[in-house]
């Protein structure tokens, strides 16, 4: 004979909370994946400009660089680069807040995640320093001023910013290696069903 026992009201509340925790955990993972993709684009762009583009522009001269910059950085770059820089910062900040709300206090996740937020903010501040230098190229300038803009932009916009972008992306990779998103969300682990409560019970 099979005897079924109705689940206690508390079990429904626990199931609802567990579902909510899983949903928020998924949200954190999606935000972090998006932030990592944006961070990879930024880091890759810095590598290309520093290692590939920089030496080439120094050989071609500042006259060629300023013409290219006016067409690229002051063209489509006026829209693409801010979206990348600001978007990456907002995404990693949102991921950190979401992770905090999930109650995930694991040091292997929290520390590199918060470090990534700090490095992202530093990279954005350095970009704000370099942006006026690039924008100044829109108007005619003497050769001395152009050479100064070239040196300053590479210093602040690439070399210094690169010191923030590379470690930031490394922090993203560190969070991935720590197993963020693997297994059950931390909040769900605390929602264990009380002993003795079962939705059904079989007896012979």
For residue range 4-58, what is the model confidence (pLDDT) as tens digits? Answer: 554 455 554 444 444 454 566 788 889 988 988 888 888 888 889 889 988 999 9
Measure the CA–CA gap between 80 and 98, rounded to whole angstroms. Answer: 26
Measure the CA–CA gap between 174 and 195, rounded to whole angstroms. Answer: 37
More confident position, 108 or 52? 52
Question: For the chain, what is the mean pLDDT?
Answer: 79
Say which residues have a Cβ less than 8 Å from residue 133's Cβ, sequence separation at least 6.
149, 152, 153, 156, 157
Query: What's the rounded mean pLDDT across residues 48-71?
Result: 92
Identify the CA nearest to 162 among candidates 119, 133, 131: 119
pLDDT at 68: 94
pLDDT at 22: 58
pLDDT at 57: 92
The residue with tokens 């992202």 is 120
For residue range 153-197, what is the model confidence (pLDDT) as tens digits? Answer: 999 998 998 888 878 887 777 777 665 644 445 444 444 444 444
Are 138 and 70 spatial neighbours (Cβ–Cβ below 8 Å)? yes
Domain extents in the chain: 21-182
User: CB count, 10 Å around CB of 133?
Assistant: 18
pLDDT band for position 138 (cuts 50, 70, 90): very high
Q: What is the pTM of this model?
A: 0.73
Partners of residue 3 on adjacent β-strands: 201
């Amino acid at each position: 004979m099979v005897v079924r026992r109705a689940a206690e009201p508390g079990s429904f509340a626990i199931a609802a909370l567990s579902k909510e925790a899983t949903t928020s955990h998924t949200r954190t993972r999606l935000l972090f994946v998006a932030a990592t993709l944006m961070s990879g684009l930024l880091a890759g762009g810095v590598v290309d400009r520093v290692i590939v583009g920089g030496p080439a522009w120094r050989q071609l001269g500042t006259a060629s660089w300023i013409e290219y910059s006016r067409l690229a950085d002051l063209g489509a770059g006026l829209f693409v680069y801010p979206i990348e820089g600001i978007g990456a910062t907002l995404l990693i900040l949102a991921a950190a807040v979401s992770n905090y709300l999930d109650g995930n206090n694991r040091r292997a996740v929290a520390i590199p995640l918060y470090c990534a937020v700090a490095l992202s903010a530093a990279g954005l501040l350095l970009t704000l320093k370099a942006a006026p230098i690039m924008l100044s190229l829109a108007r005619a300038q003497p050769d001395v001023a152009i050479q100064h803009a070239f040196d300053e932009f590479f210093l602040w916009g690439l070399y210094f910013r690169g010191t923030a972008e590379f470690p930031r992306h490394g922090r993203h990779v560190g969070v991935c290696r720590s197993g963020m998103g693997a297994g059950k969300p931390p909040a769900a682990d605390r929602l264990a069903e009380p002993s003795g409560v079962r939705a059904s019970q079989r007896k012979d």
